[in-house]
Amino acid sequence: MNYRLLSKLLSRITFLIAATMVFSLPWAHPSLQPGNIRSGGFEWGGFFALLGSISISLIVGGVFWYFGKTAAGPLYRREAMAIVGLSWILATVLGALPYALSGTCTGEDSNGDSVLMQPMDWIFEAQSGFSTTGATVLEKLEKPELVPRCILFWRSSTHFLGGLGIIVLFVAVLGQGSAGKTLMRSEMPGPSKEGTQARMQHTALVFASIYCALNVVLTICLKFCGLSWFDSLCHAFGTLATGGFSTYDGSIGGFEAVIGASAVLWAEIFIVVFMILAGTNFTLLYFLVVLRKPGKLIADVEWRTYVMIVVGVTLLVVVFGYVNQDAGFYTEGNFWGSIGSALRQGGFQVVSILTTTGYGSATDFDSWNSFGRGVLLLLMFIGGCAGSTGGGMKVIRHVLFVKILHLELEKSYHLTVVRPLRIGGQPVEDQELRKNILVYFGLVLLIFMLSWIVLVAIEPSSTWESRESGSSEHKLLDSASAVAATLNNIGPGLGTVGPKQNYAYFSPAAKLLFTVLMMIGRLEIFVFVVLLLPGFWRSR
């Protein structure tokens, strides 16, 4: 392992994070904060915490830079995997500094006293941001005395950075020559990447540009709905990164008190549209917007499947919600009104979960009927399209998975017929691909099952019993949903981690497990799991 080269590359990551922190500084000033929630004066605590974090990052970056000054030699695959894994760990630690130094509180205890975030909370919140999960341990977001606005802006900034992957930005912005391609391979979501090195760097730049442009457009749309610049920016970051951090405890449901019911409808529509775009392969958006070829979008098997899932599942959820007379899906004697509000709610939540954003609207989806909740749990494992900012397993992997199983079943009685795997009519004759997709599903299954039973073992039942809504009878299901929601970078799950709940009540050990799962999920399993194998670090 070429440690000097690792060190050189880690120094750049560190400087990039320090640079991003600077943009959170201005929000310490009350005049920039949202009119409805404004701190009493200048947020000196948050401001100095950010300044301190920037300083520490610069020092750490300097040490890495010094050690890596004489770095030489090519970047091998092993080094590339190591740098990706280590840079996420480093980013998480550095990203946690502002929470640590500002004395941000998770909420209030039963006496109304504020409760400071603990070390595992800092790490959890930072990882949740970078991995674009959006799971939170902060309970009273609307109280600036508990959570400074500038820290809240940093929290949403981690989504922005995490959205396309720090490494993609790294390649695009800082350039890495031969290293770029290897790094992109490890970090870019989705099973297949191709193209030359120069094209790779060009692609990264195009992706970053589309990403920034979408952020700008959504920010303006939300501002138009009546939100402050602060809220508009934070929610644009959360949407386009498919993250899900909000600045309100009630997520998007919290907008109503600020901008009124009719404006919320528009905000929800904008957010749904941009969530769908964020879950779309950015290559297709490039064809659509830059090259004006919408046909590519329609012709893409993955995108068609993605849209069909959104439409199909929304309709199912609406039907079951109406028949079960769920709140928000059914109003006595008002059929069309019921259907309208059911479509709004069902559509929003299906898109929010499928794209792995995790925003919640007015009605808690945890109050839906069992079918609706079960379907959302399954959707968590599907995720967005490859090459999007969406997490999860990706639609294309599911398309391939079903096709592969079908072909293998056919082979079991038609031994002589060997049929190629086709996507959209084109044969994909990479025999390794078949196995790789199956291995990927196998790993997700194994990690999910092990994490689930470990969580059930380490988390005391009292975590459930102490909550108003909770009962330890739900421990098995809630734990499964918490693992699914973190591993797939969604955020909210069912029950005790439902959209109106949060992760604050878990033990530090469980939070560590969630942090690891979020990183595993964001790095598409392989990179992180490989880092845990002792054989990986042994020199060859």
In whole angstroms, the minimum distance from the beta carbon of 533 to a second copy comes to 6
What secondary structure letter does DSSP report for 36? S
Binding mask 488-527 for a second copy (x = CB under 8 A): --------------------------------------x-
**What is the number of alpha carbons within 13 Å of residue 308 lying toward its C-beta?**
9
Helix and strand numbers, DSSP H then E, in the chain: 23, 4
Q: What is the SS3 string spanning 183-199? A: HHHHHCCCCCCCCCHHH
Nearer to a second copy, 331 or 469 (CB): 469
CA distance 52 to 442: 43
| Neighbour tally for 179: CB within 10 Å | 21
Residue 523 has phi, psi (to 5 degrees) of -95, 20
Of 52 and 374, which has the nearer Cβ to a second copy? 374
Residue 418 is a binding residue for a second copy (CB under 8 A): no
Q: How far apart are CA 419 and CA 501, in angstroms?
A: 49
Q: Which residue's entry shows tokens 């998770």?
A: 106
How far apart (Å, rounded) are the C-alpha atoms in residues 32 and 324? 45
Binding mask 122-161 for a second copy (x = CB under 8 A): ----------------------------------------
Tell which residue, 328, 479, 53, 385, has the closest CA to residue 189.
Answer: 385
Q: Which of residues 56-85 bind a second copy (CB under 8 A)?
A: 77-78, 81
Q: Closest distance between a second copy and the C-beta of residue 325, in Å? A: 11
Cβ neighbour number for residue 411 with a 10 Å cutoff: 13
Instruction: Rule CB under 8 A: choose which of 177, 311, 476, 508 binds a second copy.
Output: 476
* Helix, coil or strand: residue 216: helix
Minimum separation from the CB atom of position 349 to a second copy (A): 16
Asked whether position 293 contacts a second copy by CB under 8 A, the answer is no
What are phi and psi for residue 105, nearest 5 degrees?
Answer: -105, 145
Of 180, 30, 153, 172, the residue nearest 95 (C-alpha): 153
Specify the residue, 262 or 461, whose C-beta has the smaller distance to a second copy: 461
Q: Which segment (28-36, 169-177, 188-196, 428-436) binds a second copy by CB under 8 A?
A: 428-436
Say whether residue 529 binds a second copy (CB under 8 A): yes
> How many Cβ atoms sit within 10 Å of the Cβ of residue 442?
10
Q: Kindly state the number of chain residues that form the binding site for a second copy, as judged by CB under 8 A.
A: 54
* From 24-32, 236-244, 345-353, 438-446, span contacting a second copy (CB under 8 A): 438-446
Residue (36 or 431) nearer to a second copy, CB: 431
Say whether 106 sits in a helix, a strand or coil: strand
Question: For tokens 């400071």, what's the residue?
Answer: 116
Interacting span for a second copy (CB under 8 A) from 66-74, 100-108, 170-178, 430-438 = 430-438
Q: Is 442 in the site for a second copy (CB under 8 A)?
A: yes
The single-letter DSSP state of residue 2 is -
Q: Between residues 474 and 500, which has the closer beta carbon with respect to a second copy? A: 474
Report d(CA 171, CA 164) in Å as an integer: 11
Among 198, 213, 405, 430, binds a second copy (CB under 8 A): 405
**Binding to a second copy, residues 385-404 (CB under 8 A):** 401-402, 404
* Interface mask toward a second copy for 443-462; x: CB under 8 A: x-xx--x--xx--xx---x-
The interface region with a second copy, picked from 278-286, 288-296, 470-478, 513-521 by CB under 8 A, is 470-478
Q: Which is nearer to a second copy, 152 or 376 (CB)?
A: 376
229-288 positions binding a second copy, by CB under 8 A:
none
Position 180, amino acid: G
Nearer Cβ to a second copy (197/469): 469
Lookup: tokens for 142: 């609307």
Tokens of 115: 């409760």
> Residues 6 or more apart from 139 whose CB is under 8 A from it?
106, 107, 108, 249, 502, 504
Per CB under 8 A, 369 contacts a second copy? yes
- Residue with smaller CB distance to a second copy, 228 or 486: 486
* Contact flag: residue 413 with a second copy (CB under 8 A): yes
- The CB-of-80 to a second copy minimum distance in angstroms stands at 9
Indicate which single residue of 145, 408, 430, 465 sits in contact with a second copy (rule: CB under 8 A).
408
Out of 474, 507, 509, 512, name the contact with a second copy by CB under 8 A: 474
CA 289 – CA 387 distance, rounded (Å): 16
Q: Using CB under 8 A as the criterion, what x/- string covers residues 309-328 for binding a second copy?
A: -----------x---x----
Give the CA distances from residue 237 to residues 179, 337, 359, 526, in Å, rounded to whole numbers and listed in that order: 28, 32, 12, 27
Q: Is 308 in the site for a second copy (CB under 8 A)?
A: no
- Structure-block tokens of residue 240: 């386009």
Instruction: Report which secondary-structure segment, H or E, holds 108.
Output: strand 105-108
Query: At its nearest, how many Å lie between a second copy and the CB of residue 405?
Result: 5
CB proximity list for 404: less than 8 A, separation 6 or greater: 421, 434, 437, 438
The CB-of-377 to a second copy minimum distance in angstroms stands at 8
Tell me the Cα Rg of the chain: 23
Site for a second copy, rule CB under 8 A = 77-78, 81, 320, 324, 369-371, 373-375, 377-378, 401-402, 404-405, 408-410, 412-415, 434-436, 438-439, 441-443, 445-446, 449, 452-453, 456-457, 461, 472-477, 479, 526, 529-530, 533, 535-536, 540
